[in-house]
């Protein structure tokens, strides 16, 4: 039985307000909702409507049994550009938070909805919990990098999916008491579907593709949809389709990409027997394709994670990734979208490479499939014990050698001379590739024992 009530009945009661509004958030929040229901935690679910097409939102509610939102904001349809979208999102989410007065607000990831949830929480003085905290691509031209940095800065508690995410946060001066390691909930959703064999394999025959003889492509990042890069991506796909006539290319097209391909009249160039376009697919169909694909070409964050968990070779159409572990472990190549030859070379290597093992989940750097349980338990604990807005964040790290007095020296240009950042046992510079492999693994059993 559901504990959930109408939002007006929630006033002054002890509950969390969960905010989401896009495809990846729907998919990644599913396990959090499953666990909240299981352990009997009350929540209000606000769906921003940033994504609004059936294929980008509703389908995931149906397939992953997400709860009906208590509040539906329909921001996506109203906004005509990013600034307007973010403005409306902040205004409307803040309005709801003011009405509902939750104990705290929880959101995940790096979308405009996440950013707005973080800022709205600050505006109405509610504590904010950010999941998928500490992810960094170190590329501030990506809106997502801006969003996640702001969300992390505003957050009162930060749930990190990986150990490197913790390093990133510490390196930015975030106190360790505000961070928990939970893993990525994307792993939970995927493992649940695959281990219960819920993926829809019929999609293979519907699209007339055979296992292991096609490449799955997704492309939607705003910075990759500019004329030059989109032209380049299509040229690379044409070359790959020509070079591997026995292979198919399956490309479920994000609505934004569809719009851009139409504007640039690029669809024509890919009219070939071995190129299959589809509308965005449901998660169960998409997972079936991922599992059967020989390799994956993508600029998506979530798809990189999922392809890694399934042991697929990934060619990432970006110069950086926040899921650096997938690169370190040899599953992912970052090729960017600046040179057709480089993309094609990457894809050839992926197709011709020997199969890679499916990673052992118990020590997997991205999570063991139990992140949703950890998140739900943390939410439960916070509701019981309370959470305050932190006012004392970002203290100047003590820049001194261990054991010695604070010694902050300045050079002639006015900058402090940093001898040793002893507050952290690892800093980014000290992580060298050979040791990285060992560093990124997580003993999840131990994490749970200490939680
Ligand atoms: C957003 C996220 C991105 C995430 C992606 C998941 C931000 C800044 N980015 O990007 O991190 O990877 O979602 O897919 O929030 N559109 C539709 N129907 C829809 C949704 C979008 O037609 O249901 C079209 C609209 O033309 C819209 C455009 O896609 O303007 C972009 O959508 P938007 O939500 O602004 O950003 P995404 O590119 O989807
Ligand atoms: N996905 C899907 N259907 C598709 C393409 C992707 O269900 O046609 C899923 C995919 O499995 C992953 C998520 O959507 O879980 C990734 O979303 P997206 O690439 O839009 O966003 P990102 O992860 O880059 O933020």
Length of the chain: 451
In this prediction the pTM is 0.93
Does the beta carbon of 28 sit less than 6 angstroms from any atom of ligand 1?
Answer: no
Three-state helix/strand/coil letters over 39-67? HCCCEEEEECCCCCCHHHCHHHHHHCCCC
The phi and psi torsions of 104 (rounded to 5 degrees) equal: -165, 170
Does the beta carbon of 144 sit less than 6 angstroms from any atom of ligand 1?
Answer: yes
Query: Which pLDDT score, from 0 to 100, does residue 408 have?
Result: 54
Instruction: Over range 41-63, report the average pLDDT.
Output: 97
CA-based nearest residue to 235, from 286, 270, 200, 204: 270
Q: What is the number of alpha carbons within 13 Å of residue 204 lying toward its C-beta?
A: 17
pLDDT grade, residue 434 (50/70/90)?
A: low
Contact 365, 440 (CB under 8 A): yes
Query: How high is the mean pLDDT of the chain?
Result: 90
Query: Which pLDDT score, from 0 to 100, does residue 409 have?
Result: 56
Query: Which pLDDT score, from 0 to 100, does residue 3 have?
Result: 47
Contact 290, 256 (CB under 8 A): no
Distance in angstroms (rounded) separating the CA atoms of residues 71 and 62: 17
Distance in angstroms (rounded) separating the CA atoms of residues 240 and 92: 45
Q: Which of 10, 51, 220, 254 does the annotation list as catalytic?
A: 220
Residues 261, 262, 265: CA angle, nearest 5 degrees: 85
Query: Which pLDDT score, from 0 to 100, does residue 423 have?
Result: 39
The per-residue DSSP string of 278-328 comes to ESPPPHHHHHHHHHH-SEEEE--HHHHHHHHHTT-EEEESSS--S-HHHHH
Instruction: Cite the DSSP H helix spans in 315-361.
Output: 324-328, 340-352
Query: Which pLDDT score, from 0 to 100, does residue 394 have?
Result: 56
Scan for tokens 């149906």, then name that residue.
62
CA-based nearest residue to 256, from 233, 279, 286: 279
Instruction: Over range 84-88, report the average pLDDT.
Output: 97
The phi and psi torsions of 110 (rounded to 5 degrees) equal: -145, 25
pLDDT grade, residue 204 (50/70/90)?
A: very high
Query: Which pLDDT score, from 0 to 100, does residue 149 have?
Result: 97
Distance in angstroms (rounded) separating the CA atoms of residues 430 and 435: 9
Distance in angstroms (rounded) separating the CA atoms of residues 35 and 107: 16
pLDDT grade, residue 398 (50/70/90)?
A: very low
Ligand 1 atom index nearest CA of 24: 6
Contact 118, 389 (CB under 8 A): no
pLDDT reading at 397 higher than 60? no
> Is residue 220 annotated as part of the catalytic site, yes or no?
yes
**Residues framing ligand 2 (Cβ under 6 A):** 23-24, 27, 186, 218, 220, 252, 280-281, 283, 286, 300-303, 306
pLDDT reading at 278 higher than 50? yes
**Ligand 1 mean position to 109 CA, how many Å?**
14
Query: Which pLDDT score, from 0 to 100, does residue 2 have?
Result: 43
Instruction: Over range 61-65, report the average pLDDT.
Output: 98
Model confidence over 290-335: pLDDT tens digits?
999 999 999 999 999 999 999 999 999 999 999 999 998 999 999 9
Q: What percent of the chain has pLDDT over 90?
A: 79
pLDDT grade, residue 4 (50/70/90)?
A: low
Query: Which pLDDT score, from 0 to 100, does residue 13 have?
Result: 63
Scan for tokens 């349980």, then name that residue.
373
Q: Which ligand is nearest to the CA of 307?
A: 2
CA-based nearest residue to 378, from 159, 169, 154, 152: 159
pLDDT reading at 5 higher than 60? no
Q: What is the number of alpha carbons within 13 Å of residue 227 lying toward its C-beta?
A: 3
pLDDT reading at 257 higher than 80? yes
Q: Is 201 exposed, middle or buried (0-12, 13-18, 19+ CB in 10 A)?
A: middle
């Amino acid at each position: 039985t559901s504990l959930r009530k109408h939002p007006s009945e929630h006033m002054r009661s002890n509950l969390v307000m969960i905010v989401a509004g896009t495809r990846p958030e729907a998919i990644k929040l599913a396990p959090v909702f499953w666990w909240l229901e299981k352990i009997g935690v009350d929540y209000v679910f606000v769906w921003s409507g940033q994504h609004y097409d059936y294929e980008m939102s509703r389908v995931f509610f149906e397939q992953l049994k997400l709860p009906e939102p208590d509040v539906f904001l329909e921001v996506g349809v109203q906004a005509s550009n990013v600034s307007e979208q973010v403005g409306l999102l902040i205004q409307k989410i803040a309005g709801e938070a003011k009405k509902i007065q939750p104990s705290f607000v929880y959101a995940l990831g790096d979308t405009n909805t996440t950013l707005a949830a973080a800022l709205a929480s600050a505006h109405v003085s509610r504590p904010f919990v950010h999941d998928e905290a500490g992810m960094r691509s170190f590329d501030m031209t990506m809106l997502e990098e801006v969003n996640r940095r702001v969300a992390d800065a505003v957050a009162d508690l930060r749930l990190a999916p990986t150990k490197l995410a913790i390093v990133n946060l510490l390196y930015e001066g975030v106190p360790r008491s505000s961070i928990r390691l939970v893993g990525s909930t994307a792993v939970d959703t995927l493992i649940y579907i695959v281990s219960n064999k819920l993926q829809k394999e019929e999609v293979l025959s519907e699209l007339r593709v055979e296992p292991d003889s096609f490449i799955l492509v997704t492309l939607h990042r705003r910075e990759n949809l500019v004329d030059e890069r989109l032209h380049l991506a299509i040229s690379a796909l044409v070359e790959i389709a020509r070079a591997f006539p026995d292979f198919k290319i399956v490309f479920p097209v994000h609505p934004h990409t569809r719009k851009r391909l139409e504007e640039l009249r690029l669809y024509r160039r890919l009219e070939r027997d071995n190129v299959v376009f589809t509308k965005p697919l449901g998660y169960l169909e998409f997972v079936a394709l991922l599992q059967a694909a020989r390799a994956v070409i993508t600029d998506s964050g979530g798809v990189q994670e999922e392809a890694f968990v399934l042991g697929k070779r990934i060619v990432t159409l970006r110069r950086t990734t926040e899921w650096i572990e997938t690169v370190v472990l040899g599953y992912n190549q970052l090729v960017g979208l600046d040179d057709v030859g480089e993309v094609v070379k990457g894809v050839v290597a992926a197709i011709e490479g020997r199969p890679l093992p499916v990673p052992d989940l118990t020590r997997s750097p991205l999570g063991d499939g139990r992140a949703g349980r950890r998140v739900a338990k943390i939410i439960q604990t916070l509701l019981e014990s309370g959470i305050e807005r932190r006012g004392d964040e970002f203290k100047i790290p003590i820049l001194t050698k261990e054991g010695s007095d604070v010694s902050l020296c300045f050079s002639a240009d006015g900058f402090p001379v940093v001898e040793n950042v002893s507050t952290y046992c690892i800093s980014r510079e000290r992580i060298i590739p050979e040791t990285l492999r060992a560093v990124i693994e997580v003993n999840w059993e131990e994490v749970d024992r200490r939680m």
